[in-house]
Amino acid sequence: MRKGLRQDLLKRLEDIVGEKYVLTDDEKMEKYSHDETMGYQYFPDAVVMAETAEEVSKVLRLAGDCSIPVTPRGLGTGLSGGCLPIHGGIVLSLERMNQILDVDQENLMVVTQPGVITGELHRTVEQQGLFYPPDPASLDSCSIGGNIAEGSGGPRAVRYGTTKDYVCGLQAVLPTGEIISTGRKVVKDVTGYNITQLLTGSEGTLGVITEIILRLIPKPKMKVDLLAPFDDLSSAARGVSAILQEKTVPTAIEFMDHAAIELAEKYLKKTMAFNKAAAHLLIQLDGNRAEDFEHGMDLVGEVCKRFGAWDLLVADQPSAQARLWEGRRCIFEAANRIGGVYETMDVVAPRNRIADLVNRAEAIAEKFQLNPLCVGHVGDGNVHVLYFQKDGMEKGEWAAQIKQATESLYRATLDMGGKITAEHGIGLTRKPYLTLDLNEAQMGLLKGIKKTFDPKGILNPGKIFDL
């Protein structure tokens, strides 16, 4: 819904960030009109690329004075349409704020700007023997600011938790233009309400994050990856619950069904190990002593075999490990580039219900005549269910079927004690389903918080809920 920005406003934006950093040309803005959510495109009236918190503040004050919507954007890898300017206005890109400011060895903290690529942050701290565990599969293309805004997870969450567990402090610019700092380089802080955690996962609707303090841990000295093939989906899923019951906590337990294995092979143009399997479990263990591994590997191997794994591939060298992960990491990219029309769900169930969740996802696909693909961080109970349009299905039929299938899967997940999104956020695509989970009182709280932070409703309007 573009209305166009007046010339005098564009001039004022150029005065703030520099002429070069205000884009209005559709060709240049195309990249900012979509993210990695399949099938959505909205052009802004202008893209503004800020370099400092002060510039962000001035942009927001101007936007507030003129009632122009502002949508923050990291690197556009989101999977719920969060950075799309659905009401036009300004896309505020944080990509120029890309400096790691301080790796603090004494306090085990890193201070960074939001536009830093997450993988870059990993490599920088690891060179100094430190470790930032959250590792979204998009780590070489997403920004750390986007990770904070989404509360992102990743494979290593099984052992180490998600982004929220590492955020100690934030600098953020409120929609009113005020700059606030929450938290510090401290690991404990109960000073008032926890605004740091409120901003974490707020999907760019409460403030623009301009600086981040993250807790680090020592880098584990060793890691090993195991790939186990299964003949049926359900056994693989039950194997995950069984591994966790052994009271061993692997670093990661990832799952790919046969459709995912096939898609990865087609996209990467490579043959994957055990490519006839109905499902793979990809398990990572890390630690500092070989004996910890040996015990963990024996245990995981034994459980996998008990649940029907017919082999176990062990990778302890970086090149072999990278090959094992390549297939899992490429799934969303592959689906977007060669998968056809699809929608993705990001459901999470209690970990003893993983098999039920996967089975329900399959049954729902069959009922609504969709092609399913399941991958995910099953060690956390988190399954990404992709439903693809079948060849020959009419557009209208697809729209009706996917809507019903999505709602059915969400209701089934909630009935199991789960949640409708684990890490991709509500954004735009899950907005219609939020009230399946949250009641009127909860929705009232969310809306009240939004109004307190953003009285004029200019920051990322129309995301998570409508006011």
Ligand X SMILES: Cc1cc2nc3c(=O)[nH]c(=O)nc-3n(C[C@H](O)[C@H](O)[C@H](O)COP(=O)(O)OP(=O)(O)OC[C@H]3O[C@@H](n4cnc5c(N)ncnc54)[C@H](O)[C@@H]3O)c2cc1C
Identify which range of 121-129, 202-210, 222-230, 236-244 contacts ligand X by CB under 6 A: 202-210
Question: Which residue stretch of 58-66, 131-139, 274-282, 300-308 sits at the interface with ligand X (rule: CB under 6 A)?
Answer: 131-139
Residue 145 makes contact with ligand X by CB under 6 A: yes
Straight-line distance from the first to the last Cα atom of the chain, in angstroms, rounded to the nearest whole number: 18
Nearest-angstrom CA–CA distance, 97 and 25: 22
Report the sign of the C-alpha dihedral through residues 125, 131, 137, 143, in that order.
negative
In terms of Cβ atoms closer than 10 Å to its own Cβ (0-12, 13-18, 19+), residue 298 is exposed
Task: Provide the β-strand partners of residue 252.
Answer: 284
Please report whether residue 111 would count as binding ligand X according to CB under 6 A. no
Check binding of 90 to ligand X (CB under 6 A): no
Q: How far is CA 434 from CA 39, 117, 422, 429, 430, in A?
A: 20, 30, 13, 10, 7
Sketch the per residue contact string, 324 through 353, with ligand X: x for CB under 6 A, - otherwise: --------xx--------------------
As a whole number of angstroms, the distance between CA 392 and CA 382 comes to: 31
Query: Of 77 and 429, which CB lies nearer to ligand X in the complex structure?
Result: 77
Nearest CB to ligand X, comparing residues 74 and 308: 74
Minimum CB separation of residue 452 from ligand X in Å reads 17
Residue 114 binding ligand X, by CB under 6 A: yes
Does residue 380 touch ligand X according to CB under 6 A?
no
Instruction: CB nearer to ligand X: give 85 or 308.
Output: 85
Among 57, 98, 138, 401, binds ligand X (CB under 6 A): 138
Please, which of residues 30-59 interact with ligand X by CB under 6 A? 35-36
Q: Closer CB to ligand X, residue 96 or residue 411?
A: 96
252 is a site residue for ligand X (CB under 6 A): no
Q: How far is the CB of 2 from ligand X (least distance, A)?
A: 18
> 88: closest CA among 55, 41, 128, 31?
41
Handedness of CA 147, 151, 154, 157 (dihedral sign): positive
Could you tell me where the beta strands, DSSP code E, fall in 50-199? 70-73, 90-93, 100-104, 109-112, 130-131, 167-173, 179-183
Q: Per CB under 6 A, does 426 bind ligand X? A: no
| 169 in contact with ligand X (CB under 6 A) | no
* Residue count, binding to ligand X (CB under 6 A): 37
Among 88, 146, 418, 462, binds ligand X (CB under 6 A): 146
Beta carbon nearer to ligand X, 238 or 328: 328
Q: Which two tokens stand for residue 257?
A: 């069904």
Binding mask 59-88 for ligand X (x = CB under 6 A): ------------xxxxxxxxx--xx-----
| Residue 411: CA count within 13 A, CB half-sphere | 7
Which one among 69, 175, 204, 381 touches ligand X, defined by CB under 6 A?
204
286 binds ligand X (CB under 6 A): no
Task: CB nearer to ligand X: give 172 or 312.
Answer: 172
Query: Which tokens sit at 459?
Result: 């920051």
CA distances from 70 to 13, 62, 261, 284, 432 (A): 12, 10, 40, 41, 22
Which residues in the 443-462 window bind ligand X by CB under 6 A?
A: 460
Residues contacting 446, CB < 8 A, separation 6+: 438, 464, 465
Q: Mapped to the 3 state alphabet, what secondary structure does 333-376 carry?
A: HHHHHHCCCEEEEEEECCHHHHHHHHHHHHHHHHHCCCEEEEEE
Minimum distance, C-beta of residue 425 to ligand X, in the bound complex (Å): 7
Query: What is the per-residue binding string for ligand X in 209-228, x denoting contact by CB under 6 A?
Result: x-------------------
- Binding residues vs ligand X (CB under 6 A): 35-36, 71-79, 82-83, 94, 114, 136-138, 142-143, 145-147, 149-150, 152-154, 203-204, 208-209, 332-333, 423-424, 460
